[in-house]
Chains A and B, each alone.
Chain A
Amino acid sequence: MSAVTTEGAWDELTLSPEAYKRASARYRRRVSSKGYLFLLPYFVPFLAFLVVPVFWSLWLSFNQGGLLDSAKFVGFQNWREIAQDSQLTTSIENTAKYVVTAIFMVFVLAFLLALLLNRYRRGGNFFKLALYTPLLAPLVLVGLIWQFIANYDFGLLNLILTTIGLGRVNIFGNGTYALLLIVCAEVWRGLGFWTLYFLASLQNIPDELLDAARVDGAKGIQRFRRVTIPLLKPMLLFAVVLAIIANFQVFDTVYVLTQGGPVQSTSTMVWFIWERLFQFQQTGQGYAAAVILLGIILFLTAFSFWFLGSGERRRERKTQA
């Protein structure tokens, strides 16, 4: 009885091949037009304020002016100019020095702290909160806070130095110290973040692996070198790329602390662009430098995607094997 009614209903539902094709095409069209509708509110600003500016940036590097007046096409003049500009080379060098020192310092310290917090859990919450606090400050305020640490007259550092009977240091007068100051500001701010990041990754390591190593007689350092490090390697490398991309854009602290000085020793990529665009009115050179920055960042992004992809491919091969 019920079988008959079902069959009858089934007959009604069955469409001829052509009708089925038409119906499914209609269904797909309906869904697809809705899809574009959902994307539209995001894609309008995305195209206007991200995609178009990227190509415009390329075009502008062959122009001069344009911020306050109309742009003038000058061909390769900007590129010739910045190719001979020693400040650009200095800026790229400074940025590289800054990135390498800052990442090295912050990663070593954060990894150490993460290991300690992973081993000694008591009071862990307090330390995590304390280390995280600097991250709340905008980079501008981080710069100001370090101004109050490094200031010649009333800075905390010079206060400590005079209290223990040493002479004061004029950090802002020495190029190496000034760059190191900006590195310290970044390390201070980033330490909590990277500690929590590494701590999370350490706690992701399955206990069974470490226990198995322990049963096999591996000592603490051996376990660390042979189990922990290899397991964390992909995460570490990815973190390095992320940190390079983020730190390459250092600007706020430079603006507040040193304004690129003394004598360009803290002039970084973004500072160079800013100075040429909005302070020196040498817009053409700023445009060209912006394209260089864009190239560097896109290269790093592509590398990190390739790296992530290769990790996934490796995993797939392993599961197939």
Chain B
Amino acid sequence: MAVDSAQLGIPEDTSPHADYARAARRRRSVELTKGTVAYVVLILFAVIAIGPFLYLLSPSFRHSYDLLTFPPQWLPKSLYWGNFGAVLHQTSYLRWGLNTFIFATSVTLITLAIDTLAGYAFARMHFPGRKVLFAIVISCLMIPTAAILAPLYIIVSSIPGWTHAGVNTYPGMVLPMVCSPLGVFMMRQFMLTLPEGLVEAARLDGAGEFQIFRKIVLPLMKPAIVVLGIFTFMFQWTNFLWPLAITTTDSMKTLTVGVASLQGQFVTNYGWLSAAAVMTMIPIIIVFLIFQKWFVQASMAGALKQ
């Protein structure tokens, strides 16, 4: 018996429980240290992620001349609300907000309408040239606005009947942004996951294509449409380059362009600037906290589209 246990390498300990308990204790303490380090790292990065937003509040409650004291101050001595009032009344902030809303909403609605139609055609209809057309759309997937900025500007500013009026108009801002191939791609991929028999059965029953699309496909597409809608809206209200290029008057700027324009060439009122940034962030953070699941899904959809 003793020989056997020696061969197996099991120590013939008189108090196996004590040894086992010691090993378990050591293991527990190692795990505890690891866990503590892990949570310290996680908390550190959570602070890094949120901290800058919170710090933004500090200058927004101070006079801009108050910001230049030495040594610099962490917190305002007294709450000064004037920056918020000044941004609301002395700049076109509310107008920029309205413009942003009109711009992003129009792009989103038009995108949803035309992308679902095109996605359905690519996924479930049969016609010659379908593959070629889809390949053309996909090959434009990554084309950056910056690379076609000049032609876009020329096209929009020379649409007949507008004579240079495409600049500083809503259609001029909206229309060039509605043709992103990503939405068509997403809609097609999602429609391919719907069983083909559904559409075929409706076709055999004599339903027209548009009827099938509206009565059968669209209701099933709701989750994908919501995701694409949030994704498009988020993408467009944060859009900067195109609104910057196509708007020249203060009253047509979007929020991103307007807030950036508060940063003057030579003198900047940092109190106003931080107040405007705070006012822009608060609504979006509230909306995000309510609909967080959809947001995360929508932002992932952009990347996980393979």
Which A residues lie at the B interface, using CB under 8 A?
28, 31-36, 38-39, 41-43, 45-46, 48-54, 56-57, 60, 66-67, 109, 112-113, 116-117, 119-120, 123, 126-141, 143-149, 151, 153-156, 158-159, 162-163, 188, 191-193, 196-197, 200, 238-239, 242, 245, 248-249, 251-252, 255-256, 269-270, 273-274, 277-278, 283, 286-287, 290-291, 293-294, 297-298, 300-301, 308
Contact = CB atoms under 8 A, between A and B. Distances in A.
B157 to A, nearest CB: 8
Given A49-B175, A140-B259, A191-B45, A39 B121 contact: yes
Interface in B130-169: 130, 133, 136-137, 139-144, 146-155
B50 interface: yes
B299 interface: yes
Interface stretch (B14-22, B85-93, B176-184, B220-228): B176-184
B42 interface: yes
B71 interface: yes
10 contacts: A32-B125, A35-B127, A38-B120, A50-B143, A60-B151, A132-B292, A191-B45, A283-B150, A297-B143, A301-B139
Given A159-B74, A273-B146, 15 more contacts: A45-B175, A48-B179, A49-B155, A49-B175, A53-B151, A133-B285, A137-B238, A138-B238, A145-B277, A149-B55, A154-B73, A191-B49, A269-B146, A287-B150, A301-B139
Contacts of B142: 245, 297-298, 300-301
Nearest to B134: A39
Contacts of A277: 149-150
B49 A120 contact: no
Chain B residues touching A, range: 35 or more
Among all A-B residue pairs, the 5 with the closest Cβ atoms: A32-B127, A138-B238, A35-B127, A38-B121, A53-B151
A148 B143 contact: no
B87 to A, nearest CB: 13
B296 A50 contact: no
Which of A286, A297, A300: most chain B Cβ within 10 A? A297
Contact of B53 (A133, A162, A193): A133
B58 to A, nearest CB: 8
A138 B42 contact: no
Contacts of B289: 129
B149 A158 contact: no
B218 interface: no
Interface in B197-216: 209-210, 213
B284 interface: yes
Interface in B262-292: 263, 270, 273-274, 277, 280-281, 284-285, 288-289, 292
B8 interface: no
Interface in B230-269: 237-241, 244-245, 255-257, 259-260, 263
Nearest to A41: B114
B38 A200 contact: no
B67 A200 contact: no
B1 interface: no
B2 interface: no
B117 interface: yes
A242 to B, nearest CB: 6
Nearest to B265: A259
A48 B155 contact: yes
A32 B126 contact: yes
Nearest to A193: B299
A249 B145 CA distance: 9
A277 B245 CA distance: 10
A305 to B, nearest CB: 8
A255 B71 CA distance: 29
B199 to A, nearest CB: 11
Contact of A153 (B67, B136, B210): B67
Nearest to B178: A45
Nearest to A234: B306
A94 B157 CA distance: 33
Contacts of A252: 240-241, 256
A232 B296 CA distance: 21
A196 B300 contact: yes
